[in-house]
Structure 1
Amino acid sequence: MKKVQLENTDIEITPIIFGGNVFGWTLNEEESFRILDAFVARGFNAIDTANNYSYWVPGNVGTESERIIGNWIKSRNLRDKIILATKVGGRNLIQDKPNTTKSHILKEVEESLMRLNTDYIDLYQTHYDDTKTPVEETLSAYNQLIKEGKVRYIGASNFSSERLIESLDKADLFNLPGYKTLQPEYNLYDRKHFEEFLQPVVDKFKLGVIPYYSLASGFLSGKYRTEADLEQSTRGEGIKKYLNERGVRILDALETISTRHSISYSAVSLAWLMEQKSVVAPIASATKEKHLDAFLEAVNVQLSHDDLKLLSEASEY
């Protein structure tokens, strides 16, 4: 499978990244191993997770996703074949607010490395911006980790445009490592915030974009057309906001192009996202092996100018 390069790095990944938020949440360890095996068997190589995924699940502590991925990597002996991205600085059971202090990052990275059964992280990302911590303090922690060989590159997620600019400017000013990637919420439905506020920053600093919620929590898969459909999923309540006139218009456009190319709604949605400026690879999850077929369809389909125009116009905000 053809690979794409993350901006300003030597990291090459396949065009879709697996989102590890499902591990320890909607998939147990055995099921997670099965879906990861199927993912790499199809030629993909990049996985994104965080040190706090699934902390919201009763009985979980929030480290389940990293631990499952680490157990899988160790059992399959695949570390050198996988591009591994994780995050630090998000909420968890112990703290209810972001924390990007140097001491916190240096502590958390050791625990992530241990859970992931690796001695380095390819892409270490600030999960949420802790606005009380100076950006140069956060970057100084990453500087130390890069020098120690524990982290290759750093990325940002869930930043305001102002703080992202400040971080990138301070990195240059103090000769500290700068963010190479941005992981924002961005999909065919959720376009406005990224395109209006973050896209200009991405363009100026040449960041690689790896969007999360690429399928809008499953709404863009087309399986949710009515409120009754929401009962099919644990994410149902969060999808309700998409069931409006604009959402239906987007689904209608997806149906047209899905039929035209004989591929799934999910594949069309991912393919549209992959064609957007600065997007290197969208992040998407799967809970069943058949869901991975959409990943391959998205990589292999060539949407026409008219296809892209129809989708962009249907999703105008």
Structure 2
Amino acid sequence: MNFISINGLETKVSQLIMGSDYFMPEKIDLVSEILEAYIRIGGNTIDTAHIYCGGKSEVAIGLWLKQRGKREDIVILTKGAHHDAAGPRVHAEAIRQDLLESLERLQTDYVDLYALHRDDPNVPVGPIMEALNSHIQAGRIRAIGASNWTHQRIQEANDYAARHGLTGFSFSSPNLSLAKAKEPYWEGCVSADADTCAWHTASGLPLLSWSSQARGFFTGRYRPDDLSDPDTVRVFYSEANWERLRRAEELAAKRGVTAIQIALAYVLNQPFPTAALIGPRNQAEMESCAEATQIRLTPEEIRWLEDVEA
């Protein structure tokens, strides 16, 4: 397993981060089985969120942490301040409320990585950074980040933090995948484009990608005439992405691996620190992800995979 460093953490973060958006305490045996398999491949970081399964994801992880012990060996990334039926809620009170509830569910007094799940561009960055820093100072958070924020807003927030002696964002978590999204998968989501990647290269800020394997687009089960998954069709079906799939399959055949492993390696071989959120549900999928971390792609191969005319 390869690891990256994130400012604010003494422990390095594994390049494969275990997703948990389907974890529930009712399935704690399955949760434990998956997490122990993940630990065996060398992973140490679990991604969750205040809203996942109505909070059940965090509860399940908390149960597992208590059963397993050794809290300090596991990096927890959780997210809060997601919008609700009334609209955006990226403000100090929502951050406080969600964070305290997350800590209670997780049965811990701190989270290693805390990200704002969405942005509200109508809210100035100053009060947001002040609120997050108050929780860092209280020991509830080790490092802060932004999920689904544009790089321009992250830069604005970090500039504010630098001017006011505050801790800035240490990571960003948009979608980054070899298949390029035509539109957001969910409202308010952000996918990393060429400008975003150039900014990460220049700044060195780590990127933790969700849907890093484009929700299975590179498994081979999708073809242009298969319209059975409307969301995948809506987001990823394009001539350019079909060509990227073809190229991934071609390169995979040369390397003796699979196209889905090439797609994951694409995320992990960027010229800036990256990690990929993964969602394997069995041992074979877990091992496939682990094997992908050992694939080295050259800058020329990355450009060949992605540089397709739209």
So what's the TM-score if we normalise by structure 1?
A: 0.86
Residue number among 241, 247, 256 corresponding to 1:247 in the alignment = 241
Contact 1:227 1:240 in 2 (8 A): no
SS in 2 for 1:194: coil
What is the CA–CA distance in structure 1 between the aligned matches of 2:252 and 2:77, rounded to whole Å? 31
Quick one: which amino acid aligns to residue 60 of structure 2?
I
How big is each residue's C-alpha offset from its partner over 1:241-282, in whole Å with a ceiling of 9 and x where there is no partner?
A: 323322221121121122222222221111111111224212
Q: Please list, as runs of the form range in 1=range in 2, the aligned pairs for 1:104-143 lying within 5 A after superposition.
A: 104-143=94-133
Matched with 2:188 is none
Matched with 2:206 is 208
The alignment's C-alpha RMSD in Å is 2.4
CA 1:130–1:260: 2 relative to 1, 3 Å: same
The number of residues matched between the two structures is: 301
Contact 2:269 2:296 in 1 (8 A): no
Contact 1:129 1:159 in 2 (8 A): yes
Asked if residue 76 in structure 1 is aligned to residue 65 in structure 2, the reply is no
SS in 2 for 1:281: strand
| TM-superposed deviation, 1:9 | 4.7
SS in 1 for 2:78: strand
SS in 2 for 1:128: coil
Matched with 2:251 is 257
Matched with 2:42 is 43
What is the CA–CA distance in structure 2 between the aligned matches of 1:16 and 1:264, rounded to whole Å? 17
SS in 1 for 2:274: coil
| TM-superposed deviation, 1:86 | 0.6
Contact 1:84 1:123 in 2 (8 A): yes
Matched with 2:231 is 238
Matched with 2:291 is 297
What is the CA–CA distance in structure 2 between the aligned matches of 1:288 and 1:98, rounded to whole Å? 36
Runs of 5+ consecutive residues of structure 1 not aligned to the other structure: 55-61
CA 1:64–1:195: 2 relative to 1, 3 Å: same
Contact 1:168 1:178 in 2 (8 A): yes
How big is each residue's C-alpha offset from its partner over 1:189-220, in whole Å with a ceiling of 9 and x where there is no partner?
A: 12796234423443454311111110111112
Q: In percent, how many aligned pairs have the same letter?
A: 28
Asked if residue 311 in structure 1 is aligned to residue 301 in structure 2, the reply is no
| TM-superposed deviation, 1:150 | 0.9
What is the CA–CA distance in structure 1 between the aligned matches of 2:224 and 2:30, rounded to whole Å? 29
Which stretch has the larger CA shift, 249-258 or 131-140? 131-140
Q: Please list, as runs of the form range in 1=range in 2, the aligned pairs for 1:1-317 lying within 5 A after superposition.
A: 1-6=1-6, 9-24=9-24, 28-54=27-53, 62-92=54-84, 95-190=85-180, 194-228=192-226, 231=228, 236-241=229-234, 242-304=236-298, 307-313=301-307, 315=308, 317=310
| TM-superposed deviation, 1:133 | 2.8
Quick one: which amino acid aligns to residue 117 of structure 2?
H
SS in 2 for 1:277: coil
CA 1:125–1:254: 2 relative to 1, 3 Å: same
SS in 1 for 2:166: coil
What is the CA–CA distance in structure 2 between the aligned matches of 1:255 and 1:19, rounded to whole Å? 25
CA 1:53–1:162: 2 relative to 1, 3 Å: same
| TM-superposed deviation, 1:91 | 2.7
Quick one: which amino acid aligns to residue 132 of structure 2?
Y
CA 1:134–1:303: 2 relative to 1, 3 Å: closer
How big is each residue's C-alpha offset from its partner over 1:56-100, in whole Å with a ceiling of 9 and x where there is no partner?
A: xxxxxx2121111111111221422111101111134xx442312
Which stretch has the larger CA shift, 16-25 or 260-269? 16-25
CA 1:306–1:135: 2 relative to 1, 3 Å: closer
CA 1:139–1:216: 2 relative to 1, 3 Å: same
Quick one: which amino acid aligns to residue 63 of structure 2?
N
